[in-house]
Amino acid sequence: MDKFNKMENRNIVFYDGECGFCQATIQFLLDHDKRGVIHYAAIQSEFTVNFFNQLGELQPDLSTFYFYSNGKLKSKSAGALSVLKFLTFPYPLLIVFRIIPQFIRDFVYDLIAKNRLKLASNSCRIPSVEEKGRFIS
């Protein structure tokens, strides 16, 4: 069984590993995923390239947040909203934003993504030993 098959039943966030805003988002998720059920893979990793190939998806865009769960890959606002159900209260309540049409949510998402490099510096924390086990390379 290869690495892909071992991961296909996990919840995986794919993120730009060189973006400070993206790293801050991952730090937020680590802090609020108390059950430790979300795993993380940098878009630049070999794992991600192979994973997307196995799914028959185009190679991921660095400015896009991807979330894989229950055999489905979601991106942009749909991915971001889907990950909320795995976080501690009150964050799952934000799922209510699904009532906003996706084209509007994605427009706002694209505005933020376009400016993400300006929104945060390239600073990141060192993950704990437990957290390191949730990163896929």
| pLDDT value, residue 86 | 94
- E-assigned strands of 1-137? 11-15, 38-42, 66-69, 72-75, 135-136
The whole-number average pLDDT for the span 32-36 is: 91
The predicted-structure confidence for 97-118, as pLDDT tens digits, reads as follows 999 999 999 999 888 888 776 7
Report helix, strand or coil for 74: strand
Fold of 3-136: Glutaredoxin (3.40.30)
Residues 64 and 119: their CA atoms lie apart, in Å, by 15
The DSSP code for 93 is G
| pLDDT value, residue 133 | 72
Q: For the ranges 3-7, 27-31, 79-83, which has the lowest average pLDDT?
A: 3-7
User: Is the pTM above the cut of 0.75?
Assistant: yes
Asked if pLDDT for residue 2 goes beyond 60, the answer is no
Of the pLDDT bands very low, low, confident and very high (cuts 50, 70, 90), residue 121 is: low
The predicted-structure confidence for 7-20, as pLDDT tens digits, reads as follows 567 899 999 887 77
Closest CA to 66 of 104, 113, 120, 33: 113
